[in-house]
Amino acid sequence: MIAPKTMKTAEYQETAAEEMITNRSFWSDARRRFLGNRMALIGLCFVGAIILFAIFGGLFAQYSIEEIDWSLLGQVNEEGGPSLSNGHWFGVDELGRDLYARVVQGTRVSLMVGFTAGILSVMIGSFFGAIAGYYGGRTDQIIMGAYNITLSIPYIIFFVVWQAFFGRSVGQMIIVMIIINWPAGLLIARGQVMTLKNREFVDAARMLGLSDAKIILRHIMPNMLWVIVIYTSITIPDAIMMESLVSFLGVGIQEPSTSWGALISEGARTMTYGALWQLLFPAAFFAVNQIALYYIGDGLRDALDPKERS
Amino acid sequence: MTLLSVENLSIRFETPDGLVHAVNDISFRIDAGETLALVGESGSGKSQIALSILGLLSPNARTEGRVMYNGTDLLSLKTKQLNKIRAREIAMIFQDPMSSLNPYMTIERQLNESLELHEGLKGDAARKRVLETMDAVQIPNAKNRLRAYPHEFSGGMRQRIVIAMALLCKPKLILADEPTTALDVTVQAQIMRLLDEIRAEMGTSILLITHDLGVVAGACENTLVLYSGKVMEHADTRALFAEPQHPYTRGLLRAVPNVHDDAAELSAIPGQPPNQMLALTGCPFAPRCVDAIDACRDGVPDLCGEGHKRACIRPVEELT
C-alpha cells in the first residue's frame, strides 16, 4: 500500500512516535505474548464456544428441560440415543427428557458456580492476604488462624451439614464453595505484599503522604495483579471440579436443577444398560472445558510472569 | 533561620536478638537554604536519620529525642498529621531509581499523585505543573514522555523523575538519601549539579546522605561525619577537608585516592565497625583509632567546639 501524503507530515510522525512509546505497557506486552500462544488461543476458543453454548444453546433446543418424551419412555436404552430426526440431538436421559436441553442447563449451572465461586474466592482471599501481608503482626495472626481453620474443614461433610441447614440451591452452593475456597490466593497475595511493601516505590509513596488504602490499591495491587489473574485462572477449573465432584456424590446440585457433575453421575448409573451417550455428552463438555481452562491458565502464566519477560 | 533541628535523637531497633543501637544521641540543625551532608560508612545510621524525620522507620524502631520542624516534634506526630508534611514540606529522594518508581504506573500518574493529594490539582493544571517540574530537572521532550513507563527511561533519567517527584510540591527541605549511588560517575555529576541548581533557584534546604566523600566536597556547605550512629565531626566542608580534626575523618580522607598524586599510598582504617548490639561505653572509634589512649574507652566523648565541632578528647595537636 502506498503511504498517503499525510503520513509524512511531522505531526503524523510525532503521533506515531507517541504511540510507539505508549504501547509498550506491561499489559500490552502480555497480550502480545498470550496471543502468540497457540494452545492458549485454542483453549480460549473452546471455552468461548462452551460459554456461547450455555447462553444461547437453549434457543435451539427442541424440547424443554422437564418435558418427558412419552414415546421413548420405557425404551430409552434402545431408542433414546442421539438422533437428528426426532430432535433429541444428544438423546434423552433415563426419564425421557431431552439431554441436549439438560446439558445446556448443566453447563450454565456449572460455569456459573465455577466462575462466580472461583473469582469471588480469589478476590476475598487475596484481599485478606493483602491486608495480612501489609499490616503483619496481630492482623496477620488472626487471618492466618482463619486460614488454618478453613483448611482443616473436611469439605464434603461441610457441604452436607450446610445444605441440611440452609437447603440446596445454586446460590447456597456458591456460598459454601466460597467459604471453603477463600484461602485460594490468600497465601500468594500475602507473600506478594510482604515483598512488595519493602520495595522502595512503596516507601516513596509513603513519603508522598499517601494513605495505606491508596498505597495498597494504587501501588501494591497493580504490581500483584498478574499473580491474581493467574491464580484465578487456576481456581476456576478447580471450583468447577469441586462442584462436579460433590454433585457427582449426590451432595451438591439436585433435581430439578442439574450440573455437569450431576449429569455425569446419572450417566454413570445407566451406562451399563447401554445408554452411553448419557455419560459421554456431559463428560465431553466437562473434560474439554477443564483442559481448555488449564491451557488458558498456562498461557496466562507464560504471558504474565515477569521472570519470563525478555 | 533554623528550618529543622534534630535534638538528642537516638534510634534503636528491637530485634529477636536484642536491641540494635543504630543512632546514638545525635543533634544537628539545618538552616533554610543550607546544604548539609551526612557522611558515614554503611551501617552508621545515616539513612535511618532521614527516615526518622519523615516517620518512615520500620515498625520495630524506637526513637528518643526530638526532631523539631516549625515548632512541632515530628517524632510525636501520627501518620495522618505526618502525611500533611510529607512531600509538601519535607520530601525525600530515594537511593535506587530503578526500584523507587512503580513499574506499572505511567510517569504522569505517579507525578500527579502528590499534586492531587496535597494541592488538589487535576487535569490540565496538574499537567502544566508536572511539565514545568520535568523541565526543571531537565528531562528532554517531557511532553511526549508523560505516558511512558519507568522501564523506558535510563537510570539517570529515572533519578531525574524521582527528583521531580520530590520537587513537585515545592518542599522546604529535601532529604536526598544517596541520590547518586546507583548511577555512574558522569551521571552523578549531572545529578549533583542539578540538585545544586534547584537549591539556588528554589531556596530549598538539602540534607545529602552519602558515603561518597567526592560528592560531598563539591556539593555541600557543611558536613557531618557519622560513625556507628554517633557524630564524629561537624564542620564547614572546606575546613573539614583541609584540616580534619578527628582521627576517623583523617582516616577516611587518607583512604581516598588523589588524582594529582599517584605515588601517594592509600591507607585503610584497620579493624571493623563496633557491634551495634552493645550500647556505647566509650568512643566508638577507639578500638580502631591510632591515637587512642585508655581514657578514650572510659566515656563517650561529647561534640564540642564552635563552628568546627569534633567529638574527641585528645587535642588536635597531638593527633598523628
**Three-state DSSP state, A97:** strand
Find the angle CA(B164)-CA(B166)-CA(B172) to the nearest 5 degrees: 120
Q: If pLDDT is split at 50, 70 and 90, which confidence band does A83 have?
A: confident
Q: If pLDDT is split at 50, 70 and 90, which confidence band does A12 have?
A: low
pLDDT of residue A310: 41
Mean pLDDT of A123-134: 92
User: In chain A, pLDDT over 90 holds for what percent of residues?
Assistant: 33
Mean pLDDT of B180-204: 85
Q: Decide if B225 contacts B232 (C-beta within 8 A).
A: yes
B152 touching chain A per CB within 8 A: yes
Q: What is the overall mean pLDDT for chain B?
A: 87
Strand partners for B222: B36, B236
Interface test with B, best of A207, A212, A214, A216 (most B CBs within 10 A): A207
Question: Which tens digit of pLDDT belongs to each residue from B98-126?
Answer: 888 888 888 888 888 888 888 888 888 88
| A78-308 CATH pick, 1.10.3720.10, 3.20.20.70, 1.10.1740.10, 3.40.50.720 | 1.10.3720.10
Question: Which tens digit of pLDDT belongs to each residue from A219-236?
Answer: 888 888 888 988 898 899
pLDDT of residue B194: 86
Helix (H) or strand (E) holding A210: none
Q: If pLDDT is split at 50, 70 and 90, which confidence band does B136 have?
A: confident
Q: What is the overall mean pLDDT for chain A?
A: 84
Question: Which tens digit of pLDDT belongs to each residue from A146-188?
Answer: 999 999 988 889 988 998 888 888 888 899 999 999 988 899 9
- Phi and psi at B107, nearest 5°, equal -55, -45
Between residues A253 and B250, which one has the greater pLDDT?
B250
Portion 126-145 of B in contact with A at CB < 8 A: 144-145
If you search the block for the grid coordinates 469439605, which residue do you land on? Answer: A155
A200–B104 CB contact, under 8 Å:
no
Question: Which tens digit of pLDDT belongs to each residue from B40-58?
Answer: 888 888 889 999 999 888 8
Quick one: angle between helices A99-135 and A260-270, nearest 10? Answer: 130
If you search the block for the grid coordinates 519493602, which residue do you land on? Answer: A198
pLDDT of residue A307: 59
pLDDT of residue A110: 92
Q: If pLDDT is split at 50, 70 and 90, which confidence band does B253 have?
A: confident
Residues of chain B with Cβ-Cβ distance to A223 below 8 Å are 102-104
Mean pLDDT of A251-264: 85
Q: How far is CA B131 from the centre of its chain?
A: 27
The Cα B89–Cα A130 span in angstroms is 31
If you search the block for the grid coordinates 419412555, which residue do you land on? Answer: A73
Q: How far is CA A180 from the centre of its chain?
A: 16
User: In chain B, pLDDT over 70 holds for what percent of residues?
Assistant: 100
B144–A21 CB contact, under 8 Å:
yes
**How far away is chain B from the Cα of A25, in angstroms, using its nearest Cα?**
7
The Cα A233–Cα A98 span in angstroms is 32
Question: Which tens digit of pLDDT belongs to each residue from B6-21?
Answer: 999 999 999 998 899 9
| SS3 readout for chain B | CEEEEEEEEEEEEEECCEEEEEEEEEEEEEECCCEEEEECCCCCCHHHHHHHHCCCCCCCEEEEEEEEECCEEHHHCCHHHHHHHECCCEEEECCCCCCCCCCCCCHHHHHHHHHHHHHCCCHHHHHHHHHHHHHHCCCCCHHHHCCCCHHHCCHHHHHHHHHHHHHCCCCCEEEEECCCCCCCHHHHHHHHHHHHHHHHHHCCEEEEEECCHHHHHHHCCEEEEEECCEEEEEEEHHHHHHCCCCHHHHHHHHCCCCCCCCCCCCCCCCCCCCCCCCCCCCCCCHHHCCCCCHHHHCCCCCCECCCCEECCCCCHHHCC
The Cα A158–Cα B25 span in angstroms is 60
Sequence-distant (6+) residues with CB within 8 A of B8 are: B25, B26, B27, B64, B65, B66
User: pLDDT at residue B179 above 70?
Assistant: yes
Domain ranges for chain A: 78-308
Q: How many CB pairs under 8 A join A and B?
A: 83
User: pLDDT at residue A190 above 90?
Assistant: yes
Predicted ipTM? 0.78
User: pLDDT at residue B226 above 70?
Assistant: yes
Q: Which three cell numbers stand for residue A251?
A: 451432595
Q: Which of A83-97, A260-274, B35-49, B183-197 has the lowest mean pLDDT?
A: A83-97
**How far away is chain A from the Cα of B81, in angstroms, using its nearest Cα?**
9
**How far away is chain A from the Cα of B112, in angstroms, using its nearest Cα?**
11
pLDDT of residue A17: 53
B102 touching chain A per CB within 8 A: yes
Between residues B186 and A237, which one has the greater pLDDT?
A237
The Cα A170–Cα A158 span in angstroms is 16
The Cα A78–Cα A71 span in angstroms is 12
Residues of chain B with Cβ-Cβ distance to A216 below 8 Å are none
Residues of chain A with Cβ-Cβ distance to B165 below 8 Å are 204, 208
Handedness of CA A270, A272, A278, A279 (dihedral sign): positive
Q: Which three cell numbers stand for residue A46?
A: 473452546
Residues of A with CB under 8 A from a CB of B: 14, 17-18, 21-22, 24-26, 136-137, 199-201, 203-211, 218-219, 222-223, 225
Complete domains list, chain B, with CATH: 2-97+176-257+267-318 (3.40.50.300)
Residues of chain A with Cβ-Cβ distance to B121 below 8 Å are none
Q: Decide if A177 contacts A267 (C-beta within 8 A).
A: no
pLDDT of residue B66: 92
Q: Give me the residue from A22, A209, A223 closest to B114, CB to CB.
A: A209
Question: Which tens digit of pLDDT belongs to each residue from A235-250?
Answer: 999 999 998 898 888 8
Strand partners for A92: A98
pLDDT of residue A301: 86
Q: Decide if A192 contacts A79 (C-beta within 8 A).
A: no
What is the β-pairing status of strands B72-73 and B61-69?
antiparallel
Between residues B152 and A110, which one has the greater pLDDT?
A110
User: pLDDT at residue B3 above 70?
Assistant: yes
Strand partners for B207: B36, B175
pLDDT of residue B146: 86
**Which residue type is seen at A229?**
V
Q: If pLDDT is split at 50, 70 and 90, which confidence band does A3 have?
A: very low
Q: Give me the residue from B91, B118, B152 closest to A207, CB to CB.
A: B91
Residues of chain A with Cβ-Cβ distance to B84 below 8 Å are 209
